[in-house]
A and B are shown apart, each in its own frame.
Chain A
């Protein structure tokens, strides 16, 4: 590379753009079917396609346990996986701020390549734009993804088969991602790390166990509270959550109390909520046997009463309604 920072020339379509593209293809290993054509032309595994897109603007771009690149791959992989699909192909588009160090970009690209490899997906196409200083914050990434699914898994993302008595499962501690990012922004020193991880392998294992899974969703922005409220609203049943059974790390709990945050509202990047009927015990043990699911727990049940509401049974046996978060969580004093 002739320059060690990103300049507007890198987005001009000329020689420097070619240099950047070469870096991407070197890392993403795209000597494959698409080559350097305008579109990636790929094979389909089944004739049912899941297709998703998401943009990543996290600040800072590095945080304990991950970075924006890992996030951008995991986010899209997970969105496909929770829809019951096997993720296969990913696209990635970068918006880069003029002045970004090439070495920093390279770190992120390397992280994306590593994550994609671990998840078993291929980054097949992409795009780069460079904007003037101040027009974006170092880098924004958009990823889209395509996955393929079996007919019988087609409605998992919709939850139409969910019924009272179904159990609600989660694959581990909640709130870590939200607090890891917040801690680094506010220079809090602790050992909270993001839970960012590709969940497709864990989910594939679970779907292979039996046909008890009625719904899946990754609990990202808005946390557990947002996902379960959305589900309750959609299916017209109630949700009961048991506070004592929701996995929460001690340091996360402590910082939540300190800042007045509700862990149920905090973002996760490696947590799937699975709603399963008869046969859920086998799903749970499959989750527990996976490296990303060791702390898996049953955290609640779908019920007939209080339709469309999520009710938490508190640690002392009381109960309260869990609402959708009103907006971003902010440090509070009361």
Chain B
């Protein structure tokens, strides 16, 4: 998001190319998760509370946006805290909050569940699509993604600390720079990475030291792993990655929205036919190699992950390169 917002790609020399990795929680969330949130919203006594990010993401048949217009009680909130408040004010309803995002947001969902426990709230549920970062970073390289270094997500690192990237440096000899989100943060991080590559010495560096400590936010990590445990999870455009997602631990099963409805059986791989997001995400192909690009797949009606979010490679390509002189 920030990289495009500040127009950073246009500032870089041609031999430095930035690829949007799997750092956008919306992009990597499966279509079936959207279907599940829609299914939740259709239960009579459910109020579905969601962050604005999810509202227009298409599911198989429909989106939360359309369901809201059709009369479902779907409320857009800024924080899971608002969902807790709605649960307190509507004790006769079931309040479902779809938890998306990585180590930045998973502790927030965890804190909300702990708070609900403390105040004896029994009508609050989380539908977890939370994921963690290290497995996918390794998986991308295993799959042959052609990169020379990682700009690591600052706000994930605020929670996890910088230590989670050590295996990437050690096992794959790739540089990792943890970056802040101001334009000059990003430029400095790119500079640090280029410097590493020139020296031929990949290492772990922290550009965002004002917020990120090597050990991270231990209190938040503890809360996250009290409430959640890892599970195999499916990533849009990439596939199943072992131990990359988070589900509720047995202690907190009562808060799992999964028990409220029957998830439609769906296999993740047979949909999105023809979409080559995976390869685009991996830097192996460009959007114009995709038969769906700018035909069946546009920002208004996206098929694949890279078109869903405004920061995705396809969405950016659609806006910048298409029809340019």
A residues neighboring B (CB under 8 Å):
186, 259-260, 305-307, 312-321, 323, 326-327, 330-334
User: Is B145 among interface residues, defined by CB-CB distance under 8 A?
Assistant: no
Shortest CB–CB separation between residue A317 and chain B, in angstroms? 6
Residues of the A chain whose Cβ atoms lie less than 8 Å from the Cβ of B319: 321, 323
Q: Among B3-11, B160-168, B222-230, B282-290, which stretch is in contact with chain A?
A: B3-11
Please measure, in the bound complex, the distance between the C-alpha atom of A321 and the C-alpha atom of B321, giving whole angstroms.
10
User: Is B52 among interface residues, defined by CB-CB distance under 8 A?
Assistant: yes
By the criterion CB–CB under 8 Å, are A316 and B11 in contact? yes
By the criterion CB–CB under 8 Å, are B51 and A321 in contact? no
Shortest CB–CB separation between residue B186 and chain A, in angstroms? 9
By the criterion CB–CB under 8 Å, are B6 and A332 in contact? no
Contact partner of A259 (CB less than 8 A), chosen from B4, B8, B78, B183, is B78
Known: A327-B56, A333-B105. A320 touches B78 (CB 8 A): no
Known: A316-B183, A316-B184, A326-B300. A332 touches B52 (CB 8 A): yes
By the criterion CB–CB under 8 Å, are A331 and B52 in contact? yes
By the criterion CB–CB under 8 Å, are B299 and A326 in contact? yes
A-B contact pairs, 5 of them (CB 8 A): A314-B5, A316-B6, A321-B319, A330-B53, A333-B53
By the criterion CB–CB under 8 Å, are B8 and A321 in contact? no
Please measure, in the bound complex, the distance between the C-alpha atom of A182 and the C-alpha atom of B42, giving whole angstroms.
28
By the criterion CB–CB under 8 Å, are B6 and A314 in contact? yes
Contact partner of B7 (CB less than 8 A), chosen from A306, A318, A332, is A318
Please measure, in the bound complex, the distance between the C-alpha atom of A305 and the C-alpha atom of B55, giving whole angstroms.
36
16 extra interface residue pairs, beta carbon distance < 8 Å, beyond A320-B6, A327-B56, A331-B51: A260-B52, A306-B324, A314-B7, A316-B7, A317-B7, A319-B7, A320-B5, A320-B10, A323-B319, A330-B53, A330-B76, A331-B77, A333-B101, A333-B105, A334-B25, A334-B26
By the criterion CB–CB under 8 Å, are A315 and B53 in contact? no
Contact partner of A320 (CB less than 8 A), chosen from B4, B65, B76, is B4
Q: Which of B6-64 contact A (CB under 8 A)?
A: 6-11, 24-26, 51-53, 55-56
Residues of the B chain whose Cβ atoms lie less than 8 Å from the Cβ of A316: 6-8, 11, 183-184, 187
Q: Count the B residues whose beta carbon is within 8 Å of the partner chain — how many?
A: 33
By the criterion CB–CB under 8 Å, are B325 and A305 in contact? yes
Contact partner of A318 (CB less than 8 A), chosen from B11, B24, B325, is B11
Residues of the B chain whose Cβ atoms lie less than 8 Å from the Cβ of A259: 78
By the criterion CB–CB under 8 Å, are A320 and B7 in contact? yes
Shortest CB–CB separation between residue A240 and chain B, in angstroms? 12
User: Is B147 among interface residues, defined by CB-CB distance under 8 A?
Assistant: no
Contact partner of A307 (CB less than 8 A), chosen from B4, B55, B78, B325, is B325
By the criterion CB–CB under 8 Å, are B52 and A330 in contact? yes
* Least CB separation from B108: chain A residue: A333
Shortest CB–CB separation between residue B296 and chain A, in angstroms? 18
By the criterion CB–CB under 8 Å, are A331 and B76 in contact? yes
Please measure, in the bound complex, the distance between the C-alpha atom of A268 and the C-alpha atom of B233, giving whole angstroms.
44
Please measure, in the bound complex, the distance between the C-alpha atom of A316 and the C-alpha atom of B101, giving whole angstroms.
29
User: Is B1 among interface residues, defined by CB-CB distance under 8 A?
Assistant: yes
By the criterion CB–CB under 8 Å, are A315 and B6 in contact? yes
Shortest CB–CB separation between residue B259 and chain A, in angstroms? 26
Shortest CB–CB separation between residue B315 and chain A, in angstroms? 10
Please measure, in the bound complex, the distance between the C-alpha atom of A138 and the C-alpha atom of B309, giving whole angstroms.
37
Please measure, in the bound complex, the distance between the C-alpha atom of A307 and the C-alpha atom of B324, giving whole angstroms.
9
Residues of the A chain whose Cβ atoms lie less than 8 Å from the Cβ of B187: 316
* Least CB separation from B55: chain A residue: A330
Closest 6 CB pairs of A and B: A318-B7, A330-B52, A320-B7, A314-B7, A331-B78, A316-B183
Please measure, in the bound complex, the distance between the C-alpha atom of A110 and the C-alpha atom of B6, giving whole angstroms.
45
Residues of the A chain whose Cβ atoms lie less than 8 Å from the Cβ of B24: 334
Residues of the A chain whose Cβ atoms lie less than 8 Å from the Cβ of B324: 306
How would residues 166 to 208 of chain B score, 1 for a CB under 8 Å from any chain A CB and 0 otherwise?
A: 0000000000000000011001000000000000000000000
Contact partner of A321 (CB less than 8 A), chosen from B105, B320, B325, is B320
* Least CB separation from A261: chain B residue: B52
Please measure, in the bound complex, the distance between the C-alpha atom of A260 and the C-alpha atom of B309, giving whole angstroms.
14
